[in-house]
């Protein structure tokens, strides 16, 4: 039965990657794959020899000998656990996307657009890459990608140009998220699991992460796609439509920045802080919406269309729900493989099968090649279950270099495929990025950044 589930996952994965060829929305493939995988798990529960306890990051002892009722109870508990963890991400994402849409409702991004007084694509690329790197470390790579692509859509009108910028934003955002404990889901997992500390994470990974962003961006400046200037109408009216545009922009971004502070103080999951931030932003949005439209605005049709609608309701109606459901399907389908211990056994076999290299330099018993393969695997599968499996595989102490290398590898390796990271999945939904276009145009840049950053980590590890 395990083989059947793996085949279903592979078929579903291929259907997602071949979305445009099959003319079948990836959302459908993801949801069907998720439902079928878990249905097969429930139907064949008595034939499985292993069960992975996600809460304790280890296999359940004596699972095969347990009664059917006990096994089904474990299935229900595990399914609820994964749904809860997935819901945390989705609710956080919904909150962030809603705040971004509220900012857009007040035309807040026109404020940033007004700061762009240059047309050069190279300067614009460096601006977005540096912003993505910095913001992702503060507000996480997922939210940073949402914010920056929203701004990008206001500045670069041509989609043919915009998708190139979006590809480099993904690389920069994942690189920036790797050296921060709140910058990526995987680093957060290692941080919460007492495997890495904030100070040592920054010490080990800042330079590798910076190189992972700088090198691909530098190479990209020589590509034809970033030659010349962006095309936009200089006579286009740049003034924001609302007198509160700048206020809502700073309030919205400030509210998102508040989330990691809230988490640090309360130790509650990030989505709780995001909901508080959303409530605060929504309150000001409702207050400011009463004075949004000028009495001298004679565009009565546009005014009447918005005047009687709550800005929060209007913002919620614009959220990309297909992207949310797609994310749900992908995470829950991978959770099915994780629950059967398939990913755990794969990682363990990889650990045993690959010859140890560089162990004397590392001072550990773990192969650097295994960790690099973990990074490559995070682009194909999801980095969250792979890191979860690594938590059960290895028993090294706090701040062992192994954990920092895993954080870097899993965090930045996902950039090599558009569906290999949360930032990529969101960008894929917002800009309708094609899987194979990204594979041909962006993946090689991400691979170079990944390898350069990994080499820098090995050098730093020897020096520290």
Contact 187, 178 (CB under 8 A): yes
Residue 291 phi/psi, 5° resolution? -120, 15
- Note the Cα 211 to chain centre separation in Å: 20
Cα within 13 Å of Cα(167), Cβ side: 28
Residue 25 phi/psi, 5° resolution? -55, 135
- Mapping DSSP to helix (H, G, I), strand (E, B) and coil, where does residue 49 land? coil
Alpha helices in 267-339 (DSSP H): 270-289, 300-307, 311-316, 321-339
Low-confidence ranges of the chain (pLDDT < 50): 235, 237, 292-308, 356-366
Exposed e or buried b for every residue in 241-277, given b needs 16+ CB within 10 A? Answer: bbebbbebbebbbebbebbbebbeeeeebbbbbbbbb
Q: What is the pLDDT of residues 12-63, one digit of tens each?
A: 878 877 776 788 888 898 899 999 999 998 998 888 887 877 777 667 878 8
How far apart are the C-alpha atoms of 48 and 375, rounded to whole Å?
28
pTM flag (> 0.85): no
**Across-strand partners of 59?**
52
Q: CB under 8 Å to 376, separation ≥6 — which residues? A: 413, 416
Q: What is the pLDDT of residues 195-211, one digit of tens each?
A: 888 889 999 999 999 99
- Mapping DSSP to helix (H, G, I), strand (E, B) and coil, where does residue 290 land? coil
pLDDT recorded at residue 348: 64
- Residue 273 structure tokens: 């802080």
How far apart are the C-alpha atoms of 64 and 46, rounded to whole Å?
7
Tell which residue, 35, 37, 66, has the closest CA to residue 53.
Answer: 66
How far apart are the C-alpha atoms of 223 and 85, rounded to whole Å?
40
pLDDT recorded at residue 120: 83
pLDDT recorded at residue 364: 43
* Length of the chain, in residues: 464
């Amino acid at each position: 039965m395990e083989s059947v589930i793996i085949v279903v996952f592979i078929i579903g994965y291929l259907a997602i990657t071949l979305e445009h060829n099959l003319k079948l929305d990836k959302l459908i493939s993801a949801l069907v794959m998720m439902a079928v995988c878990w249905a097969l798990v429930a139907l064949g529960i008595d034939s499985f020899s292993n069960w992975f306890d996600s809460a304790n990051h280890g296999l359940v002892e004596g699972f095969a000998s347990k009664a059917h009722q006990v096994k089904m109870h474990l299935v229900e508990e595990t399914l609820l656990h994964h749904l809860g963890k997935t819901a945390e991400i989705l609710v956080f994402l919904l909150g962030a996307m809603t705040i971004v849409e509220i900012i857009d409702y007040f035309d807040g991004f026109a404020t940033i657009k007004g700061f762009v007084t240059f047309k050069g694509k190279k300067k614009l690329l460096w601006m977005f890459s540096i912003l993505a790197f910095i913001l992702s470390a503060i507000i996480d790579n997922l939210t940073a990608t949402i914010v920056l692509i929203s701004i990008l859509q206001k500045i670069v009108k041509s989609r043919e140009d915009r998708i190139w910028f979006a590809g480099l934003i993904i690389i920069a955002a994942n690189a920036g998220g790797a050296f921060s404990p709140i910058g990526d889901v995987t680093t957060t997992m290692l941080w919460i699991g007492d495997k890495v500390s904030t100070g040592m994470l920054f010490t080990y990974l800042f330079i590798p992460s910076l190189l992972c962003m700088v090198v691909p961006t530098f190479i990209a400046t020589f590509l034809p796609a970033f030659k010349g200037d962006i095309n936009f109408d200089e006579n286009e009216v740049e003034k924001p439509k609302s007198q509160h545009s700048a206020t809502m922009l700073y309030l919205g971004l400030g509210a998102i920045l508040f989330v990691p502070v809230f988490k640090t103080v309360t130790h509650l999951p990030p989505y709780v802080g995001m909901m508080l931030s959303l409530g605060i932003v929504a309150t000001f949005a409702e207050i400011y919406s009463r004075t949004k439209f000028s009495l001298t605005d004679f565009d009565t049709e546009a005014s009447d269309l918005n005047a009687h609608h709550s800005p929060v309701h209007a913002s919620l109606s614009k959220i990309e729900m297909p992207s949310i459901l797609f994310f749900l399907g992908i995470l829950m389908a991978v959770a099915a493989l994780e629950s059967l211990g398939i990913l755990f056994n794969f990682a363990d076999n990889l650990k045993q099968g690959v010859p140890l290299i560089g162990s004397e330099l590392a001072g550990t018993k773990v192969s650097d090649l295994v960790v690099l393969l973990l990074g490559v695997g995070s682009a194909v599968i999801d980095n969250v279950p792979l890191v979860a499996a690594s938590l059960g595989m290895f028993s090294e102490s706090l701040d062992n270099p192994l954990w920092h290398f895993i954080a870097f590898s899993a965090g930045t390796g996902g950039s090599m495929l558009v569906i290999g990271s949360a930032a990529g999945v969101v960008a894929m939904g917002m800009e309708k990025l094609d899987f194979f276009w990204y594979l041909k145009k962006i993946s090689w840049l991400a691979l170079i950044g990944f390898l350069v950053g990994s080499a820098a980590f090995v050098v730093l590890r020897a020096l520290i």
